[in-house]
A and B are shown apart, each in its own frame.
Chain A
C-alpha cells in the first residue's frame, strides 16, 4: 500500500514537472507587452497585434524575437530608432513574411554596434528582398500550404518548408549584393542561389523543394528581384 502511494506520488510529481517545463517554454503575449513597454515603443498595440499574428505560425521565432526586444531595450540608442527597427519586423509579420532571418541579422547588427538607423535601413532592404523573392516563387506557381494539411501537389509546399526556402534564397541574393555583386550578373546570382540551396538540400531543405525551385527560376528572374531590392 505504502509502495503504491509513493509510486503514484512520484508519477504526479513527474507529470507536474513536465507540464511546468512545457508551459515555461512558451513565450506569452504578456511577456512581449512588458518588453515593448520597457523600450518604450510608440505604438505597442500595433506591434503586439502583428506579434499575435506571427504567433499563429508554426515556425515563429518567439523566444528570439523576445530576446531581441529585450536587447533593444538595453541599447543606449533613442527609443524612436528602436521603434523603427521593430516596425520593420512588424511590417514583415503583417504581410506574412518569415522574420527568422531578419531577427538573426538584427542581433548581428547590434553585436557589431551598427547604428540603429543603419540597421533599420539594412533590415528594410532585406525585407523587400524577402517579399520580392516570395512574389517570384508565386509567379512560378510555387506556393505555401498550411503545414498540417497533406501535400496534394509538389508545388504547394508546407509553410515551414516554403519559408526556409524563401529565407535562404533571399539571403543568398542579399549576401551577393552586399558582397559587391551586380544585379545584372544574373548567371552569377543564379549560381549563388544554386550553391546555397544545394548545400542545404537534405540537411534543412527538402531535396524535392530545391529541385522544384531550381527548375523553375532563371537568372533573369533573380536579376529582377535584386533590382527591386536596390532601387
Chain B
C-alpha cells in the first residue's frame, strides 16, 4: 500500500518531467522511512514581481515530501533555501503552505499534477505579494507549539487591556495577569486580572484555590506593541531580545515571572492543604512540590498584522518554561522575597543565572486554542440557530426529538436550558436516542442534563423529571422565565395543557410544537409567537383545516397526522402495556429533529426582524407558522411546505366559562355576508348564519373556524332573523368530513346593523330553544355582531377598523324535549312566531309578506328598490 502510493507519485512526477520539455526536472529522490523527498527543479522564470512579494529566480528547487499515504495524504513542499523566511504562508523558514483546507482543495485523483499546478499558482501569488491580502482571513503568526507543553484555552477578550491603539500604534508594553485553571495539560484562561486582584484572591480568607475541582494558577501576560510577523521565535534568546526591543527588558520579564511565581507558590501550598488530590501533581519533576508553582509560564500578546474589522486585535502565545527555567525563576522569586536584608548579591547572581538560561533555552510554546469572542467566529454565525444565543429555553420531552433539540440549544449558546420529561431510559431507546447503557433506568432528563452540561463549562442544564403539566403548565404558571418553549413531547395532553396555560398567562414566550410521523419520514412543526391567539393544539387544528382543504403539498400531511381512521396497527416495541411509538432510525429522527428545529428557528429569526421599537411583535402580522418537512421516500416533490396565520379574534363568552376564538377566515366570511346583505337587500336588514368550529371542554375554548350565510329559507328583516334549514346539515356534514371532524356546528351568528350587539327579546327566547341543524338540541354559541352608524358601515365596507360590538354566549343544551317542530333557531321553523311584516328570504329573492297566523304571501312583482322605498321611504 505505502509503496504503491509513493510509486504513484514517482510515476506522476516522471510523466510530468517527460512532458514538460525541461520545465519540470526531478533532480533527486531522497529516500526516508517516512516517505521519500523529491527534489524538483521548476522553471519559475517570467513570474511578475510586485513590491511586497517574494523574489523568485528563473529556476527554483523544491523539496516535495511524499507521505506513504499518498495520494490520500497530501505531500508537503519546502524551498531548499531560506530566502523566503518570514513571508506570508512560509512556515518553519521554508515550508510553503499551499492549501488553506486540504479536505476540500486537495484532489487525490489529480495527485502530483494538481500539486505542481497549485505550487505554480502559489509562487505567482507569493511573487505578487497577494498571498495575504487585507481582506483575507487573518492568519496568525505561526507558533511552533508542542502538545507536550500543554494547551492554553483563552476564553476572555483582551479588549481594551491591550496597550496599543486600534491601529496598532503605541510603544509601551503592559503587563496583566491571566487567571487560569489547570486540568492536567490543559490550562484555561478564565479572566484577565490585575496584580492586586490576583493577590486578593490568594490571600483572601476564602481563597479562590479551585475552579470546578481543578487548581487555579496565575500567568503574567506581557502585551507589546510590536508584531511578530509570520513566525514566532524558537529560542528564548530571540524572544527575550525581541521583547527588549519592544521595551520589555529581560529584567522586567524576570520580575514579572517572579511575581507570579510568588503567588503561584502560595496558591500551590494552599491547594495542597485544602485538597491534595485536586491540586494534582506538578508539571515538572521537582523534589519539593510545596515550594514550587504548579507550572511557570507566561503569555505574550502582540498586535495582529492588520486590523480585523476596525481593530488590531491581540495575537496570543504562551511560553511554558522548562523544568530548569522554572526552578531558576522560582529560586529567584524566593531569594528576591528575602532580598531586602541579606540576599542582595544572591538575588543578583540568581538573576544572572536566569539570564544565562534565557540565552540558551529553547522556547516551549504551549498550544494556544482561541476561544476569545473578539478573535473567533462562531461556526453557526448568521444561521437561524444564532437566534438561540443567550436565550432561556424550555424543552419539553427528552426523547428522539427533544434530545437532539436540547443539544442543539446548548451548542447554539442558550443562556439557560431546562429539559422536562417524565420518562426513564429503557434499553430499547438506545437504538435512536443519545443515551448510554449506564443511563438505563435513570430519568431521561437527568441523564440528558448531565450529558449536555458537560458540553459547556458555563451552562448547567436544569432537569425537570416530573409531570410537565403540573410542574410547568399549571394554569397561572409564570412563563416569564423562558424566552422559548419547545414542546417535543408529541403528547396531546401536554399540548392541551399548554393551550390552557397560555389562555391565562400574562407572559407568553414563543412556543414551538413539533411531532413526527409514524414512520419517521415526515415532521410537523408550529411556531406560536407571543401575539398568537393560541398554542400548539390550536396550531395543529389550523394545520388540519388547511391540509384538509386540499392545499397543495399538504395532502400527505393530512393523511399522516390527521388520519381518517385511527391506525390500528400501532407499534409496540416492548411486551406489555408499553406506549406505542413510531418506527424510525436515529438517522431519521435526528434528521427530522434538525429540520424541524431549523424551520422553527428560521421563523423565529424572521419574526424577530419584524419587532417594533418596543421590542414586541406586531399584532397585525402573522403570528402562527407551520411547516411540514419530509425525508427520503416521503418526498412528494414539495419538500418543505409552509403556512402562516394571523391571530384569531379572541373574546370571552358571556358566561366567562369559554374563550371564544374567531378565525380571520370566519370573520371575513361574516363581513362578506353582511356586505352582501346590505347590497342585495338593504343595509338595515339583519343577516346571519351558522358558526362552524369546535368546542374543547378540556381547555374551555370555542374555536370558530368558518361562518356561513343564511340558508335560502331564512326570513330576514330589520328587526328579525329567522335561520332556515335548507342545506344546513349538508354543509355541516361536508365540513366534518373534509376536516376529519376537526370542525363542525358550534352555533349561530346574526347581525344587528342598526343597534348594539345585545340580544333582543326574540333573541333571548330563541337562545333558550336553540336546535342544531340536525334538529337535535345541543349546546351552541350565539354570536351577535352589531353597532350601527359609521363605524359599522366602515367595517362592513372596508374591513378597516375594529370589529363592531360582539355578543358571545354559549347556550347550554336546552332542557325541553327535542321533537320535530320544536321552536328553535333552526329546524321546526314556526312562522307563527314571526311577527307579521315584510321579510326578505335568505336566497336574495324578492321579499314576502308574512301575515298574522303565519300566512306567507308573495309581494307583487316589482323592483326591490321601489318596494323597499315603500317600506322605509326612499333615502335617495
A, B bound: no
Residues of A within 8 A of B (CB): none
Residues of B within 8 A of A (CB): none
